[in-house]
Structure 1
Amino acid sequence: MEIRRAVTIAEVAAAEPLFDNPVRPEWAERFLTSAGHHLYLAYEPDEDAPVGFVSGIETIHPDKGAEMLLYELGVAESHRRKGIGRALVGRLAELSRELGCYGMWVLVDTDNDVALATYRSAGGKDDGGCAVVGWKFEQAVARAYGGAPSPEGDGAPASSGEGLSGCGGTRGPRPTGRPPGPASGS
């Protein structure tokens, strides 16, 4: 298996079956050109398209320093349980160390046993229970997707059958919980 950093929109588009939603070229370009945004793709020797991906975003705070958010991990169903997810997480962790990040974190639903096993096998440690507090910006999401807000008020466009929340409706190992970063008073 080979893991390579994605640098073109075409590479991101080739990974579209691994993502939850269709790739929007303008969003792919923005991600690829934004400082601190990283996307790695896994390729098997006899495969033309990627079989897995991991994305990460460097975050920094004036009193904490830099850390890496493992934003999303996906592996094609036909290639799961072969160590690809663990290798992708390992590559992002390696980059995090190279960049001087003090740590890396991922959000995970507590009942997502597959994701938890993947992250633990890659050296991640549980940080305990948490609550996720979120905000939905229906009008912004509707504009971005070119539709009207859904009648359910979930932030997804009315024409879509899927919400955009990080929790639920995921394919395999995917982050969806709380960062374990340093203790803070706020």
Structure 2
Amino acid sequence: MDIRRATTVTELLAAGHLYDTPPREDWAARFLAAHGHVMLIAYVGGVPAGFVSGIEILHPDKGTEMCLYELGVDAPHRRRGIGRALTLALLDIARERGCCGLWVGVEGDNEAALATYRSAGAGDDGGFRMLAWEFGEGASDR
């Protein structure tokens, strides 16, 4: 396994089978251009097998934190340590960038994610509920 930071739209699009929905070229370009956005891709046999994305968040009273936005591993490669390795690699980048910590929101019944993050040293910080606003078709094109 080889973990590399994605730096081109081509790399992000080539990992499209790992995402929830097909990636768009314009969104991939915006992701790469945005300060503080990180995408690491794990390759097995030269093929994308997993990814982790992180976003730096800066706040006046907390400094800079890294949010682990999403982690995904292709089904044939699960339970082989790829998710843990990607998480640890993102932790290293967060430390290198001077972040004071890294956090991730996880649904309480997602045992696979909880086990992955705990195996990478995460501690439980209590209950978590996420509320969302949906803006409808096309709103995220901006």
Q: What TM-score do the two structures reach when normalised by structure 2?
A: 0.95
**1:125 counterpart residue number:** 123
Conservation of the 8 A alpha-carbon contact between 2:36 and 2:56: yes
Aligned to 1:18: 18
Alignment partner of 2:93 out of 76, 92, 95: 95
Measured in 2, the distance between the counterparts of 1:13 and 1:33 equals 15
CA distance in 2, matches of 1:19, 1:64: 30
Please list every run of 5 or more consecutive structure 2 residues that lacks an aligned counterpart in the other structure: none
| Deviation for aligned residue 1:145 | 7.4
Structure 1: gaps spanning 5 or more residues: 147-186
User: Aligned partners of 1:95, 1:35: CA distance in 2, in Å?
Assistant: 14
CA contact (8 A) 2:105 2:128 kept: no
Deviation track 1:86-106 (CA, whole Å, cap 9, x = no partner) reads: 000000000000111110000
Q: Is the contact made by 2:19 and 2:72 (CA closer than 8 Å) also made in structure 1?
A: yes
Q: Which residue type is aligned with residue 62 of structure 1?
A: P
Residue by residue, what CA displacement relative to the aligned partner does 1:125-149 show, whole Å, maximum 9, x if unpaired? 11111222221212xxx12579xxx
Tell me the secondary structure at the aligned position of residue 114 of structure 2.
Answer: helix
Task: List 4+ stretches of structure 1 deviating above 6 A.
Answer: none
Query: Aligned partners of 2:61, 2:127: CA distance in 1, in Å?
Result: 24
Alpha-carbon RMSD:
1.3
For 1:68 and 1:145, the matched residues in 2 are separated by 22
- Structure with a larger share of its residues in strand: 2
More helix by share: 2
Q: State how far apart, in whole Å, the 2-side matches of 1:133 and 1:9 are.
A: 30
Task: Return the alpha-carbon distance in structure 2 between the equivalents of residues 17 and 30 of structure 1.
Answer: 19
Relative to structure 1, the CA distance from residue 124 to residue 11 in structure 2 (aligned partners, 3 Å threshold; closer, same or farther) is: same
Inter-partner Cα distance in structure 2 for 1:53 and 1:132:
22
2:91 alignment partner, SS class? helix
**Percent of aligned positions with the same letter in both sequences?**
56
Q: Amino acid of the residue matched to residue 102 of structure 2?
A: M
Query: Aligned partners of 2:36 and 2:90: how far apart in 1?
Result: 12
Number of residues paired by the alignment? 141
Match of 1:143 among 125, 131, 138: 138
- The residue correspondences of 1:1-186 to structure 2 (distance < 5 A) are 1-44=1-44, 47-138=45-136, 142-144=137-139
Amino acid across the alignment from 1:34? A
1:22-50 Cα deviation digits (max 9, x unpaired) = 01000000001100000000012xx2321
